[in-house]
């Protein structure tokens, strides 16, 4: 049996695995990547970020068509089916796979398709789909195997009307009524997608506020816009049981309520993909959510083994996973690319879109920091009016004495893009990270970025 020798073996080809593999390969290491799909890209490309964002984009286009009076000249509002919008997501996935496959080839990284597990600290066994067993030896291993939806034992996911965020991508019809259990980021995003398709959605939240980590004004705005789009949000609810019927599902809540729908989408938690890794063979422990613990260098409790991405838990974002992977490889190759990935913006692709960076009002008030607020409402901005996108607001929080920008919170059109202007300014030192930048800089007109200038003037006007 042949043994392939590598400097670094990366388990998983999602953003964390790709970031790790590319950095190690560029530093001259001989690298292999193992993934248990037959294509690269990880869950991010095949089941998570990419399909959900492509679905959302198509739904937004449909909503534009149905609400912009200009389109009435070519036809009445119409509804598209979920399988219709899924087709465009599949096209994007295929393009992503092609691009990403090219990156591995160009960087001379070997890709093995199969399930990888540790025989010992330096030996990975890969069971390929055809049953062949490949053995890879490595000086260092990076675990980047991601996560999957958490499936509690008392929910029957084999029932044809019960889905999770992976299996929803096999839905072959458009339900009239859908229960989404779990109102975190994934649940709220799917509530936007389905309600945009005209589905009546019951969004079940275990807490009393949607996405409570957000600035409360933005969380309130999200609730308002979901509700106006036919999402019934039910706060402080927990399931007792889920009853599958031939033609639907009944959700029994601990509060005594019963909700009936054509289907249920479970969006409550995720678990790390560590169960098939043979971690018991090498003494790496996982927590109750199957996640591996790492130090600030992304090193596990075994010296030559690192981990990055969803498999280590927070923040479980593709954006952070890619940087964590790169940083883990940076720890190994020592090329100056190691960093702790903690300055992560929030990007939530609900309808409306949400993005933020830095502190929110609640945090600043609690810390007794004397801040002031500057706002720009999209309904008054030329670019938003031209784009038929009146919903939204940019809010800048700044220190009332030093004018330092402390937080940027935004919802509406292009929110996840324009937040990066605020992020760039907040990362500057001295006067460069103050509100003055926005009033002393000429912005293209009309742009959404101009919201910074409007919000900055609004904020300065509040000072005395």
Ligand X SMILES: Cc1cc2nc3c(=O)[nH]c(=O)nc-3n(C[C@H](O)[C@H](O)[C@H](O)COP(=O)(O)OP(=O)(O)OC[C@H]3O[C@@H](n4cnc5c(N)ncnc54)[C@H](O)[C@@H]3O)c2cc1C
| Chain-centroid distance, C-alpha 374 | 28
Q: Which of 9, 10, 12, 202 is the binder for ligand X (CB under 6 A)?
A: 12
Look-up: residue for tokens 């990366």?
A: 10
In Å, what is the CA distance from 121 to each residue of 18, 277, 283, 301, 305?
A: 21, 12, 9, 11, 7
Q: Which is nearer to ligand X, 49 or 300 (CB)?
A: 49
**Is 273 a binder of ligand X (CB under 6 A)?**
yes
199 is known to lie in a ligand binding site? no
128 is known to lie in a ligand binding site? no
100 is known to lie in a ligand binding site? no
Residues 264 and 151: their CA atoms lie apart, in Å, by 13
Question: 138, 148, 198, 168: which is closest to 42 by C-alpha?
Answer: 148
How many Cβ atoms from other residues are within 10 Å of residue 110's Cβ? 16
Q: Which is nearer to ligand X, 93 or 321 (CB)?
A: 321
267 is known to lie in a ligand binding site? no
Q: Is the dihedral of CA 235, 239, 244, 250 positive or negative?
A: negative
**Is 184 a binder of ligand X (CB under 6 A)?**
no
Q: Which of 123, 293, 304, 319 is the binder for ligand X (CB under 6 A)?
A: 319
38 is known to lie in a ligand binding site? yes
Buried b (16+ CB within 10 A) or exposed e, 236-257: ebebeebeeeeebbebebeeee
**Is 219 a binder of ligand X (CB under 6 A)?**
no
Among the listed ranges 49-57, 170-178, 219-227, 445-453, the one in contact with ligand X (CB under 6 A) is: 49-57
**Is 277 a binder of ligand X (CB under 6 A)?**
yes
Q: Which is nearer to ligand X, 25 or 403 (CB)?
A: 25
Interface positions, 282-301, toward ligand X (CB under 6 A): none
256 is known to lie in a ligand binding site? no
Question: 28, 12, 44: which is closest to 126 by C-alpha?
Answer: 12
248 is known to lie in a ligand binding site? no
Report angle CA 38, 96, 384 to the nearest 5 degrees: 150
Instruction: Name the closest residue to ligand X (Cβ).
Output: 146
188 is known to lie in a ligand binding site? yes
Q: Which is nearer to ligand X, 62 or 277 (CB)?
A: 277
Interface positions, 24-43, toward ligand X (CB under 6 A): 34-37, 42-43
Cβ neighbours of residue 415 closer than 8 Å, sequence gap 6 or more:
352, 353, 354, 355, 392, 394
In Å, what is the CA distance from 432 to each residue of 65, 277, 397, 459?
A: 42, 48, 16, 17
**Is 218 a binder of ligand X (CB under 6 A)?**
no
**Nearest distance, CB of residue 17 and ligand X, angstroms:** 5
Q: Which is nearer to ligand X, 64 or 115 (CB)?
A: 115
Q: Biggest alpha carbon distance in the chain?
A: 78
Q: Which is nearer to ligand X, 66 or 304 (CB)?
A: 304
Q: Which is nearer to ligand X, 49 or 331 (CB)?
A: 49
Q: Which of 52, 140, 195, 219 is the binder for ligand X (CB under 6 A)?
A: 52
**Nearest distance, CB of residue 328 and ligand X, angstroms:** 11
Residue 160 three-state SS:
coil
164 is known to lie in a ligand binding site? no
**Nearest distance, CB of residue 371 and ligand X, angstroms:** 28
185 is known to lie in a ligand binding site? yes
Question: 128, 121, 129, 148: which is closest to 9 by C-alpha?
Answer: 121
236 is known to lie in a ligand binding site? no
Question: 416, 414, 458, 412: which is closest to 435 by C-alpha?
Answer: 458
455 is known to lie in a ligand binding site? no
**Is 326 a binder of ligand X (CB under 6 A)?**
no
| Binding map of ligand X across residues 161-180, x = CB under 6 A, - = no contact | ----x---------------
In Å, what is the CA distance from 376 to each residue of 4, 55, 455?
A: 58, 29, 5
**Nearest distance, CB of residue 370 and ligand X, angstroms:** 33
Cis link prior to 178 (omega < 30° from 0)?
Answer: no
In Å, what is the CA distance from 346 to each residue of 48, 111, 153?
A: 16, 32, 31
Among the listed ranges 97-105, 314-322, 326-334, 430-438, the one in contact with ligand X (CB under 6 A) is: 314-322
Count interface residues toward ligand X (CB under 6 A): 39
Q: Which of 186, 233, 329, 396 is the binder for ligand X (CB under 6 A)?
A: 186
Cis link prior to 193 (omega < 30° from 0)?
Answer: no
In Å, what is the CA distance from 291 to each residue of 177, 248, 310?
A: 34, 34, 8
Tokens of 249: 């599902």
189 is known to lie in a ligand binding site? yes
Interface positions, 88-147, toward ligand X (CB under 6 A): 115-116, 144-147
Q: Which residues bind ligand X (CB under 6 A)?
A: 11-17, 34-37, 42-44, 48-49, 52-53, 115-116, 144-147, 165, 186, 273, 276-277, 309-311, 316-319, 321, 347, 349
Which residues are annotated binding-site positions? 35-44, 53, 116, 145-147, 182-189, 269, 310
Write out the binding residues for NAD(+).
182-189, 269
């Amino acid at each position: 049996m042949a043994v392939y020798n590598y400097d670094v073996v990366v388990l998983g080809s999602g953003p964390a695995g790709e970031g790790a593999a590319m950095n190690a390969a560029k530093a001259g290491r001989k690298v292999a990547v193992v993934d248990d799909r037959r294509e690269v890209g990880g869950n991010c490309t095949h089941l998570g970020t990419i399909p959900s964002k492509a679905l959302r984009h198509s739904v937004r286009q449909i909503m534009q068509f149905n609400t912009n009076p200009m389109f009435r000249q070519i036809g009445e509002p119409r509804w598209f089916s979920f399988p219709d919008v899924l087709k465009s997501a599949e096209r994007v996935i295929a393009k992503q796979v092609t691009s990403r496959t090219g990156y591995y080839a160009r960087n001379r990284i070997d890709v093995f398709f199969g399930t990888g597990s540790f025989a010992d600290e330096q030996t990975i066994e890969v069971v390929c789909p055809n049953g062949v067993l490949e053995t890879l030896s490595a000086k260092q291993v990076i675990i980047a195997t991601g996560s999957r939806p958490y499936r509690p034992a008392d929910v029957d996911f084999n029932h044809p009307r019960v889905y999770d965020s992976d299996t929803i991508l096999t839905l072959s019809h458009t339900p009239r009524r859908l229960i989404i259990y779990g109102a975190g980021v994934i649940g709220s995003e799917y509530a936007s997608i389905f309600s945009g398709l005209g589905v009546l959605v019951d969004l079940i939240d275990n807490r009393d506020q949607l996405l409570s980590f957000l600035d409360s004004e933005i969380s309130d705005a999200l609730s308002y816009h979901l509700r106006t789009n036919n999402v019934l949000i039910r706060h402080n609810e927990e399931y007792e049981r889920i009853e599958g019927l031939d033609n639907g599902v009944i959700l029994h809540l601990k509060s005594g309520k019963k909700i009936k729908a054509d289907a249920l989408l479970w969006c409550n938690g995720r678990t790390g993909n560590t169960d098939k890794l043979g971690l018991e063979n090498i003494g790496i422990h996982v927590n109750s959510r199957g996640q591996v613990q790492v130090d600030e260098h992304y090193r596990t409790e075994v010296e030559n083994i690192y981990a990055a991405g969803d498999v280590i838990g927070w923040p479980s974002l593709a954006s952070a996973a890619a940087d964590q992977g790169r940083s883990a490889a940076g720890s190994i190759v020592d090329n100056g690319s190691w960093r702790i990935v903690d300055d992560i913006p929030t990007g939530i692709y609900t309808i409306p879109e949400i993005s933020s960076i830095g502190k929110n009002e609640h945090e600043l008030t609690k810390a007794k920091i004397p801040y002031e607020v500057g706002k720009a409402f999209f309904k008054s901005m030329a670019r938003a009016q031209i784009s038929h996108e009146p919903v939204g607001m940019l809010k800048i929080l700044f220190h009332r004495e030093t004018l330092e920008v402390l937080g940027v919170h935004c919802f509406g059109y292009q929110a996840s893009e324009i937040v990066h202007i605020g992020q760039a300014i907040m990362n500057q030192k001295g006067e460069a990270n103050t509100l003055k930048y926005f009033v002393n800089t000429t912005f293209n007109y009309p742009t959404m970025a101009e919201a910074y200038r409007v919000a900055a003037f609004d904020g300065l006007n509040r000072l005395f």
